[in-house]
């Protein structure tokens, strides 16, 4: 079992550390950090994710509000909602849950750009993405940040390693490039047009997979001793599973994150961390 990179356990420990910090703030009569989430429409998976985020906020002492909007809301109405949250001094973090419903999804970039970058706890705003270009990870995207926190907590050295990522989104693959380069890894991004993807996977010392295909990674695809980071969460016959065939690769891999119970909780931890960073930046500013 020492092959398991236990994201659940680690996130619980790290969340407890954040709770201690927040308790201390409150003991010193400081304002309570507050996160606002916006959920548009009725996507069942998004509802589950947003509920987990609020539950974790409550557990560690971050106040939170959930704004549920109809899938029929207009672009203007959603922009106005974001504007209200941007101007509200009691709100330190704003998270617009993605994906947006059909009709609004084509404006996703506009909505993200409308969020105050100081409150952008998702790290999706172009300003925060640009800072990552300079290796500033302060408000970086939560899933990549959680992956790096997990690798570093387990003392997995990245220097010179071949890290292969199968994902090129702004949520996962693109931010990971900079975080891994900062730590001197050799980074390869694979995607749907990659020729002979198998040969890349075979060379990976660390393989990070987010393709949304249940049990896509099997023993034959990986190098002996590879570290496998499974970012996938799929529902098959009512049960959750990752993009990696866990039981099949367990013997051959060096270490592996389970899914569920690996990167998911680490992502939520990063959101809590980002909310506290956004809070600290905004509140210290106000005191000047
Ligand atoms: N949808 C899936 N993952 C995420 C995330 O990290 N943030 C937001 N806002 N939406 C998501």
C-beta 230 within 6 A of ligand 1: no
How far CA 116 is from CA of 171, 219, 283, in Å, comes to 18, 45, 15
95 within 8 A of 35, measured Cβ to Cβ: yes
pLDDT digits (tens, 9 = 90+) for 18-71: 999 999 999 999 999 999 999 999 999 999 999 999 999 999 999 999 999 999
Q: Model pTM?
A: 0.97
Give the residue-averaged pLDDT of 141-146: 98
Identify which of 123, 108, 89 has the alpha carbon closest to the alpha carbon of residue 273.
123
User: Which of 116, 120, 122, 243 does the annotation list as catalytic?
Assistant: 122
CA torsion, points 57, 60, 63, 69, in degrees to nearest 10? 10
Q: Is pLDDT at 283 greater than 60 in this prediction?
A: yes
Of 39, 97, 146, which is best to mutate to test ligand 1, by the most ligand atoms within 8 angstroms of its C-beta? 97
Question: Is there a catalytic annotation at residue 97?
Answer: yes
How many residues in the chain?
Answer: 288
Across the strands, what pairs with 151?
none
Give the C-alpha separation, 84 to 113, whole Å.
15
Distance 98 CA to ligand 1 centre (A): 5
pLDDT of amino acid 65: 98
Mean pLDDT of the chain: 97
Q: Can 205 be counted among the known catalytic residues?
A: no
In tens, the pLDDT along 155-194 reads 999 999 999 999 999 999 999 999 999 999 999 999 999 9
- How confident is the model at residue 262, as a pLDDT? 98
Task: Compute how many other C-beta atoms are within 10 angstroms of the C-beta atom of residue 237.
Answer: 5
Is the CB of residue 91 below 6 angstroms from any atom belonging to ligand 1?
no
- Which of these is catalytic: 81, 97, 120, 161? 97
- Find out whether the beta carbon of 122 lies less than 6 Å from any atom of ligand 1: yes
Q: Which residues contact 109 (CB under 8 A, 6 or more apart)?
A: none
Residue 121 near residue 139, CB atoms below 8 Å: yes
Closest CA to 255 of 234, 229, 235: 229
201 token code pair: 């996977």
Q: Is 143 in the pocket of ligand 1 (CB under 6 A)?
A: yes
Give, rounded to a whole angstrom, the gap between the first and last alpha carbons of the chain.
50
Q: Specify whether the CB–CB gap between 10 and 153 falls below 8 A.
A: yes
- Would you state the pLDDT for residue 285? 75
The CATH number corresponding to 28-117 among 2.40.110.10, 1.20.1440.230, 3.40.50.10860, 3.40.640.10 equals: 3.40.50.10860
**Active-site annotation holds for 2:** no
Band of residue 287 on the pLDDT scale cut at 50, 70, 90? low
What is the second-level CATH architecture of the domain 142-264?
3-Layer(aba) Sandwich (3.40)
**Helix, strand or coil, per DSSP, at residue 216:** coil
- List the domain boundaries for the chain: 28-117, 142-264
Fold: same for 28-117 and 142-264: yes
% pLDDT > 90, the chain: 98
The predicted pLDDT at position 78 comes to: 98
Average pLDDT over residues 228-248: 96
Q: Do residues 115 and 98 touch, judged by C-beta distance below 8 A? A: no
Q: Is 100 helix (H, G, I), strand (E, B) or coil?
A: coil
The structure tokens listed for 281 are: 């930046």
> In Å, how far from its chain's centre is CA 180?
15
Residue 210 in contact with ligand 1 by CB distance below 6 A: no
Instruction: Give yes or no for a contact between 235 and 228, defined as CB atoms under 8 angstroms apart.
Output: no
Q: Determine the atom of ligand 1 nearest the C-alpha atom of 267.
A: 6
Q: What is the pLDDT of residues 261-276, one digit of tens each?
A: 999 999 999 999 999 9
Task: Catalytic residue, from 34, 53, 131, 145: name it.
Answer: 53
């Amino acid at each position: 079992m020492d092959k398991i990179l236990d994201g659940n356990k680690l996130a619980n420990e790290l969340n407890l550390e954040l709770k201690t910090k927040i308790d201390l703030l409150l003991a010193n009569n400081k304002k309570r950090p507050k996160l606002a989430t916006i959920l548009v429409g009725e996507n069942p998976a998004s509802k589950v994710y947003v509920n987990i985020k609020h539950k974790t906020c409550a557990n560690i002492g971050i106040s939170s509000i959930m704004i549920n909007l109809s899938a029929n809301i207009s672009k203007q109405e959603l922009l106005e909602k974001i504007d209200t949250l941007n101007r509200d001094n009691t709100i330190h973090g704003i998270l617009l849950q993605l994906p947006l419903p059909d009709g609004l999804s084509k404006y996703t970039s506009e909505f993200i750009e409308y969020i105050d970058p100081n409150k952008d706890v998702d790290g999706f705003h172009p300003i925060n993405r640009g800072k990552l270009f300079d290796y500033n990870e302060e408000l970086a995207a939560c899933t990549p940040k959680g992956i790096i926190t997990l690798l570093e907590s387990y003392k997995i050295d990245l220097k010179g390693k071949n890290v292969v990522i199968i994902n090129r989104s702004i949520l996962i693959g693109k931010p990971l490039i900079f975080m891994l380069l900062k730590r001197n890894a050799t980074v390869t991004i694979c995607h749907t047009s990659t020729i002979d993807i198998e040969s890349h996977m075979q060379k990976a010392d660390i393989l990070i997979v987010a393709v949304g295909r249940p049990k896509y990674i099997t023993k034959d695809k990986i190098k002996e001793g590879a570290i496998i980071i499974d970012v996938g969460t799929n529902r098959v016959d009512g049960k959750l599973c990752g993009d990696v065939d866990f039981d099949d690769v367990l013997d051959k891999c060096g270490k592996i994150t389970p899914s569920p119970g690996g990167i998911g909780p680490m992502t939520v931890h990063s959101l809590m961390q980002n909310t506290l960073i956004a809070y600290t930046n905004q509140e210290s500013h106000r005191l000047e």
